[in-house]
Structure 1
């Protein structure tokens, strides 16, 4: 049987929740990635660090990385700005110095105050974002400045659990200005298009832990995707996912890349007979294999019947698993 990764020439890998959580690698990820010849590109919505810092962190954690294979939303956000405002224009930066450096690299002038007459605002994740800088950005946006958000992730995985992401700070400015930003990162297409262009790939695979960014981002540029259940998205999220968030493959860990593709492909598992009856999904068959196998089999039927309310199983162990997902 064909190994999953062998069908692709490039893996476009998410970072937070896929390769690591906070400062620590997710167990087994380094080994899983090291078993193939595909080019690895690291595509991250997190705009808080420079590509070189991200690459150094990956190397410290045992991943094979070089700077030019790191594609960040800060780079894409800066490109979007440069395409829309005049060279040398002032851009108010809500984010880290790494984001400000990307603004400088495209020939624009980063500032931190509305008094410097910015024509645009760029916003990326920073743990130091506070009311003061959000107020400066609010004034600029309300005065007509172009607003570019690096990403809209409301949460960010850490070793302690989910914490505030850039999208939560974007939501504050959206509420205060009634303006929608131009978005650089996943699930919007600009970041994914930059990754595709830089990698020069012909058959890429997106790998990530979030349906609403990684998988939807893959849909935005019409390429295959693998959802790993090591980060944000849960089995319940999978069962309730809208069309634009349906992954090609689902796996518990990244080691699925080195296993036969059919073992991770959604809808190929025939261990169970699954149907719909009224508002219930009905699963017939014993609990064979792991829970992710059951999820891959159940998901297509759930997607066809998005209004389902319950899952009824003939086997007690299957019922226990689906009850734990839907609790």
Structure 2
């Protein structure tokens, strides 16, 4: 098997590369769901056919989600409805990660107050815990996950139990959730209400914590996993924490501007428009004098400004004289990220509104 060239580890470049299609460079693809594979009830364009091709080529697929409300079987059923054949054991949820954490710290039979959906109840029962819904049951732990029907009474029970000494655990701290109608409040926004009321900050168990990624890879049996996500602070930061290469796609939350501003712990090592990136090679980005080149695109930082040259045109993309808007190629963005991420004193106070041009229909 061809391997991903881990330039991001050797210091040759902040981005990795693969001369062959990515599915020839890995034996396991870990995937976020919302914003990568689907948005609400609808599949993301090109997702089903790209994943089908990956599976046909012998690559294992495993889905890693911070949605703790739905059991793995429900997630698998949803994916099958979208034309993506999936088994229950090919899904790892934040509820399962929370249950594993609790089981490691508490004996079987421990009462756990659940604030969330059926996925949390099932995951806790599977590890021998006793889910309850009232603080009067004297739970040792409160675990909170996203439920779209969550209301004040459930949040109040959590506050009462935490006030009585129960440990507070959150399945994840995502502030938002991408839906077919736009961005909606995520579990972290609701957890914040309980944390504000109690003064207690919870332990979190889903992405970006590395354990959920390690659990997923262990379940799938992969030796060379790569994570694909759309969100820097969960998918990509978690992959980095777990030590896995990651591919960022532009079908969900974060775009080029967020990538340029990302801290080192949130930077992906590969880029793609969408899941067709599984079926494509990923070119190397290499230093060239005082600039960085990715095929025909070249980027550099000059006088604290970020500049990109492609198609014979140089555009200033940051600083006082930055262009208001620009459409660039994916290779152009690769070169920009390498230049921006390795520069000292880069001025990003004014940054061009960047759009990545689709390379094909």
Deviation at residue 90 of structure 1 after TM alignment? 1.2
* Distance of 1:221 and 1:18 partners within structure 2: 20
Change (3 A) 1:265 1:150: farther
1:308 maps to 346
Residues 208, 239 of structure 2: 8 Å contact kept: yes
Q: Aligned partners of 1:173 and 1:307: how far apart in 2?
A: 40
Provide the TM-score with structure 1 as the length reference: 0.91
Shift of 1:263: 7.3
For residue 30 of structure 2, what is the aligned residue in structure 1? 12
1:155 counterpart = 2:173? no
Whole-Å separation in 1 of the counterparts to 2:74 and 2:233: 26
Which of the residues 282, 299, 321 maps onto 2:307?
Answer: 282
Is 1:26 aligned to residue 40 of structure 2? no
Gaps of 5+ in 1: 313-321
Q: Deviations over 1:203-245 (max 9, x none)?
A: 0110111111111111111011100010011111100011111
Counterpart contact for 2:257–2:353, Cα < 8 Å: no
Distance 1:297 1:26 in 2: 27
Residues 125, 33 of structure 1: alpha-carbon distance in 2 compared, 3 angstrom cutoff: same
Q: How does 1:98-137 map to 2 (within 5 A)?
A: 98-137=119-158
Q: Which residue of 2 aligns with 1:299?
A: 337
Query: How far off its partner does 1:177 sit?
Result: 2.1
Structure 1 equivalent of residue 193 of structure 2: 172
Instruction: Give distance in 1, aligned partners of 2:119 and 2:301.
Output: 51
Distance in 1 between residues matched to 2:159 and 2:182, nearest whole Å: 30
What SS is found at the alignment partner of 1:261?
coil
Q: Distance in 1 between matches of 2:286 and 2:150?
A: 41
After TM superposition, give the deviation of residue 264 of structure 1 in Å: 9.5
* Alpha-carbon distance, 1:290 to partner: 5.2
Q: How does 1:181-200 map to 2 (within 5 A)?
A: 181-200=202-221
Indicate conservation of the 8 Å contact 2:299/2:332, yes or no: no
Q: CA deviation at 1:305?
A: 3.5
Residue 200 of structure 1: how far off its partner (Å): 1.4
The structure whose residues are more often helix, as a share, is 1
1:141 Cα deviation from its structure 2 partner:
1.6
The match for 1:253 is 274
Superposition CA RMSD, Å: 2.3
Does 2:90 match 1:69? yes
Q: Take 2:67 and 2:131, find their aligned partners in 1: how far apart are those partners? A: 19
Aligned residue-pair number: 317
Q: Secondary structure at the match of 2:30?
A: strand
User: Do the aligned partners of residues 100 and 229 (structure 1) sit closer, same or farther apart at CA in structure 2, a change above 3 Å counting?
Assistant: same
Residue-by-residue CA offset, 1:64-119 (whole Å, 9 max, x unaligned): 21011111111111111111122212111010122112112211111111111111
2:310–2:332 Cα contact (<8 Å) kept:
no
Instruction: Please give the alpha-carbon distance, in whole angstroms, between the structure 2 residues aligned to 1:145 and 1:22.
Output: 34
When residues 112 and 35 of structure 1 are mapped into structure 2, their CA distance, relative to the original with a 3 A threshold, is same
1:286-318 deviations in whole A, cap 9, x for unaligned? 379953222111012222247533599xxxxxx
The answer to whether the Cα contact below 8 Å between 1:275 and 1:281 also exists between their aligned partners in 2 is: yes
Measured at CA, do residues 175 and 278 of structure 1 come closer, stay the same or move farther in structure 2, by a change above 3 Å?
A: farther
> How far, CA to CA, are the matches of 2:293 and 2:33 in structure 1?
28
Candidates 118, 125, 140, aligned match of 1:97: 118
Per-residue deviation, 1:28? 1.0
> Structure 2 regions of 5+ residues with no counterpart?
1-18, 314-326, 356-361
Q: Helix, strand or coil: the match of 2:165?
A: coil
Tell me the secondary structure at the aligned position of residue 49 of structure 1: coil
Give the structure 2 partner of residue 316 of structure 1. Answer: none
Distance 1:199 1:47 in 2: 19
